[in-house]
Structure 1
Amino acid sequence: MQLETAPRTLPPTPGQPRAQSRAFPWIVFALICGLMMSDYMSRQVLSAVFPLLKAEWGLSDAQLASLTSVVALMVGVLSLPLALLADRWGRVRSIVAMGGLWSAATILFAAANSYGHMLAARFLLGFGEAAYASVGMAVMLGVFAPRLHASLSGTFQAATFFGSFAGVALGGVLADRFGWRTAFLIMAAIGLVLVVAFRLVVTERRLERHAPRPTDSAVPTGARAPLSSLFTTASLTFVYLGAAVQLFVAGVLLAWLPSYFNRYHGMDTSTAGLTASMYVLVIGIGMTICGIAADRISRRRPELRWTSAISYNALSMTFLMVGFHLDNGSVQLVVIALGAFFCSGAAGVTTALVASLSHASIRASAFGVGTLANNILGMALGPLVVGMLSDRLGLLGVLQWVPLAYALAIGFLLLARRAYPAGLAKLRSLTTTEVPRTAAPDGDPVST
């Protein structure tokens, strides 16, 4: 099979001397997660000010939903081409450019004086963050051993919910006290500070030095796996679809919980934003804990990763459907919180599975395909569908049945599990040279 020339960010050959720091991978992890939080703070602060924009500009629920969905739509459409570009142009430079762009777009939110202006700024935000999840994930996982990938992936993706928590909570408070424009400006400032810090600390050369040694037969150093391998593996395709459909529900909760508490629990903008942000925080905590649990459970029995992902989806579907059908009260709030905890618990597992089915040389591109599916079928479609149906059926009526989307996600994951051995065999078929391996006692690579 013809192999292309690889970018210079591939791991060095085994045995090559490398000056490594135990702290550097964790600094990379912290900065990558911090930037992801900043991204979602800028993205989700809008949900906290939905009631203010609705009153000030006379917007419908469908228009409010479009301001959320347009970002996810842009991310979905542009994630793959921009991830492909980042794999060639340089992942570090790409991250700096993306962080600067979404921070600039957030400043434009503060200057908007109509729905059209806000929509245009949201387009720009989506362009800026389009490939960040894919490229950031590839950079982060590139300096850690595979045995940590589900935990790290879950935490990285949980940063979206921690950022959403901060954006919704701070956004509601700042909007009430200083106006919604000030809320956007503060989010932009946080993003710019993190971009500068990342640029000063992380370089392609440092990432290369800290890459773990290969642990299996792989495409030799100096070569790239063909991009076609991202689209010809059934297991990988089904993992993409299962991960995307589960985010349909997560996207709905992120966008509509503040409005739900405002309309059905009689809370003002600030209180509704703070309450919703607590649920967003629960989603993030659940994503982190579920990813760590999946890594621990599957250390000796890898097939239990699939069981974990499917179980998380089933639990969330059950709790959310029951919760939104209960009468208002403390019991209802607890049950919805339990559903939120497992809402995206499978995200870290599915990301680790994508990594296991794709070669490191094109892993950002693999995550780009996943990001496309996640945003088109999940984060964009979910809020938009609920907004359109809410104008006709009422928000609560729609939320009561949205969790059924998990049944489809479970179906896709079952198909992916069945095709997984064939997917691994296809990945191994790309190899042309055996690469020596250095392993820890449990069979995993020695991490930094």
Structure 2
Amino acid sequence: MISPSANDAVNEKADYSVSRSRAWFGFAMIFLLMMSDYIDRQIIVSLFPHLKEEWGLSDKQLGGLVSVISVVVAIGSIPVAMLADRFGRVKSIFVMATVWSMATISCMFARNYGQLFASRAVVGLGETGYGSVGSALISALFPKRLHATLLGAFFAASSVGAVLGVVLGGVIAEHWGWRAAFGAVGFPGLVMALLFLLVPDYKNVIVKIRPTIDSKGAGAHLSRLIKTLSRGPTMWILCVAGSFQMIVVSAMWSWMPSFFNRYHGMPVAVAAKYAAVLVLFGAFGALFWGWVADRVSRREGANKLRLLALTTVLTAVLFIAAFTLSLTQSLQFALILAGGSMMTCTVGVSVSAILDVTHPGLRSTGAAVHAFAINLFGLAVGPFLGGVISDHWSLQTAMAIIPAAGFFASFFYWKASRSYGADAALAADMLTDTATDVVSQPEGYAARAVGGLQKAQA
């Protein structure tokens, strides 16, 4: 007879789709590539003063070099995630990382704004879908009780990568010029892309959408796909909420080095280091608030969305106070860091909620819908909007106005909390009505088959 403790150990092991060691190796590689993703994405912001001086660019043009990546990521996120759901996540991520690393290297050869803008667009093409596909891979490898924490850690890697990008960009540009900075961060990404091929994948589940009498054309198929993804409003409300909060995050990440340089007279490298501290606090915040969300949602899942409604309001208040009140430099920086530790509260928690209410056979695609929204209507808006407001009024005005988007984020997270329970129950019914994903392991490891898809109704 097996003791209760032995049963607990067996059940805990069964929660992992592969062995624990292989699951954690996979997470480590997913984390490192997310760092590479954001190093390549954010290194440009510490180079703004150099580009402004050399090419005479406006703040709107500088903001465009950040926003173009988010626009391209948004446009391609859903198609790429659908392909990943169909052909495999690990291979798809290998291709993505190779493309964005090569494109980053090409930035060092740009001779004018147009060429640099085009190279940055290709960086975005490579990064398209990585966040959503990586999220789906984590959710498949690990038990649900760890999802919000691990997804928070996964998206915290973006903050760590942004820190490294800002610091490395400032230091390398100061010693060897801004062009060298792109090459220094691009080549390590190629190495990580190759190593990612060792990560275990899970076998793809093909979702067959039942045809209807009027199912003619791509539009009808897309409509049925959207209905299959999630049958309630929670997913779409979360997309709106996340977009508003990402406007705040992207603006702060993009313009903080320039703010310290212009308003506090810091040299470019020093300003980059101060801004990096803000981003590092954001990395800690993403992990911490994901951990808090896992605990407050044990009794009721909607509590994690109520938590976000509170933290997004506090973020807005802290930033607005920091940029509107007459404060000493040290007190202003303290308020900025406090806001920075809360502004990333949504990244992992919001995606975990998306996965909770999404059809189990369309995890990557569901996360990609969220990625599409927050990139196009959030991450792409913040840097560009900050540049436009700065050109017309001042950068400090931009930094004071943009955080108000957090009030809208708070309202929509509260609204999503009201429909979350019913939509999560519908998704759970889909999971019992269909088979779970199959996890495949490299040769030499026994595959753990947990079934195939039986049916998915439109």
Paired residue total:
407
Distance in 1 (CA, whole Å) between partners of 2:431 and 2:302 is 24
1:226-268 Cα distance to aligned partner (Å, 9 max, x none): 7333364211110111112111100001110011011111011
Distance verdict in 2 for CA 1:324–1:81, change over 3 Å: same
Matched, 1:300 2:287: no
Amino acid aligned to 2:383: P
**Cα separation, 1, equivalents of 2:376 and 2:115:** 23
> What is the aligned partner in structure 2 of residue 289 from structure 1?
288
Q: Does 1:181 align with 2:151?
A: no
Secondary structure of the structure 1 residue equivalent to 2:141: coil
String of CA shifts for 1:271-315, please: whole Å, max 9, x gaps.
111110111111111111111111122223333212211121111
- Quick check: 1:25–1:143 contact (8 Å CA) kept in 2? yes
1:29 match: 27
Asked whether 1:401 is paired with 2:398, we answer no
Which position in structure 1 is the counterpart of 2:446? Answer: none
The equivalences for 1:188-337 within 5 A come to 188-199=186-197, 201-204=198-201, 207=202, 227=225, 228-230=227-229, 232-326=231-325, 327-337=327-337
> Whole-Å Cα distance in 1 between the matches of residues 195 and 207 of structure 2?
32
3-state SS of 1:267 partner: coil
Q: Residues 349-374 of structure 1: CA distance to partner in whole angstroms, max 9, x if unpaired?
A: 11111010012321000011000001
1:136 is matched with which residue? 134
* Alpha-carbon distance between aligned partners in 2 of 1:163 and 1:230, rounded to the nearest angstrom: 31
Match for residue 372 of structure 2? 372
Maintained 8 Å contact 1:282/1:337: yes
Give the letter aligned to residue 349 of structure 1. Answer: V
Q: Counterparts of 1:57 and 1:222 in 2: how far apart (Å)? A: 50
1:413 aligns with 2:413: yes
Which residue does 2:114 correspond to in 1? Answer: 116
Please list the CA deviations of residues 109-134 of structure 1 after superposition, one character each: whole Å capped at 9, or x if unmatched.
11111000000001101111011111
Between the aligned partners of 2:63 and 2:330, the Cα distance in structure 1 is 28
SS at 1:49 equivalent: helix
Following superposition, the deviation at residue 186 of structure 1 comes to: 1.1
Letter of the 2:337 counterpart: A
What is the TM-score of this pair, normalised by structure 1? 0.87
- Shift in alpha-carbon separation, 1:233–1:434, aligned structure 2, 3 A: closer
Q: Residue 63 in 1 paired to residue 64 in 2?
A: no
Distance 1:338 1:286 in 2: 10
Offset of residue 224 of structure 1: 5.5
AA of the residue aligned to 2:228 = S
Tell me the distance in 1 between the aligned counterparts of 2:102 and 2:422: 45
The answer (yes or no) to whether the contact 1:108–1:121 under 8 Å persists in 2 is yes
Deviations 1:71-107 (Å, cap 9, x if unpaired)?
0000111101111111112111110000000000001
User: In the TM superposition, what is the alpha-carbon distance from 1:421 to its structure 2 partner?
Assistant: 2.9
Q: Does 1:73 align with 2:60?
A: no
Q: Which amino acid is 1:174 matched to?
A: I
1:105 and 2:78 equivalent? no
Cα drift, residue 408 of structure 1: 0.7
- 1:125 partnered with 2:123: yes
1:37-56 alignment, distance < 5 Å: 37-56=35-54
- Distance change >3 Å, CA 125–CA 222, structure 1 → 2: closer
Q: Against the structure 1 CA distance between its residues 287 and 39, is the aligned structure 2 distance closer, same or farther, given a 3 Å change threshold? A: same
Matches of 1:435 and 1:140, distance apart in 2: 18
Matching residue of 1:13: none
Aligned to 2:4: none
- Asked if structure 2 preserves the Cα contact closer than 8 Å seen for 1:105 and 1:124, the reply is yes
CA contact (8 A) 1:265 1:328 kept: no
List gaps (5 residues or longer) in structure 2: 1-13, 210-223, 437-458
- Inter-partner Cα distance in structure 2 for 1:416 and 1:88: 29
CA contact under 8 A between 1:48 and 1:168: conserved in structure 2?
yes
Amino acid at match of 2:415: L
**Equivalent position SS for 1:358:** coil
Which fold has the larger relative contact order, with Cα–Cα distance below 8 Å and residues 6 or more apart in sequence?
1
Residue 297 to residue 432, structure 1, CA distance change in 2 (3 Å): closer
Whole-angstrom distance in 1 between the partners of 2:118 and 2:206: 42
Q: What CA distance in whole angstroms lies between the structure 2 residues aligned with 1:339 and 1:251?
A: 13
Supply the distance in 2 between the matched residues of 1:335 and 1:46 (Cα, whole angstroms).
Answer: 25
Unmatched runs of 5 consecutive residues or more in structure 1: 1-15, 212-220, 437-448
The 3-state SS of whatever aligns with 1:301 is coil
Asked if structure 2 preserves the Cα contact closer than 8 Å seen for 1:310 and 1:346, the reply is no
Deviation at 1:179, TM superposition (A): 1.1
Amino acid aligned to 1:202: V
Letter in 1 for 2:134: G
Say if 1:308 and 1:346, in contact at 8 Å, map to a contact too.
Answer: no
Aligned residue for 1:142, secondary structure, equals helix
Corresponding residue number in structure 2 for 1:4: none
Give me the CA root mean square deviation: 2.1
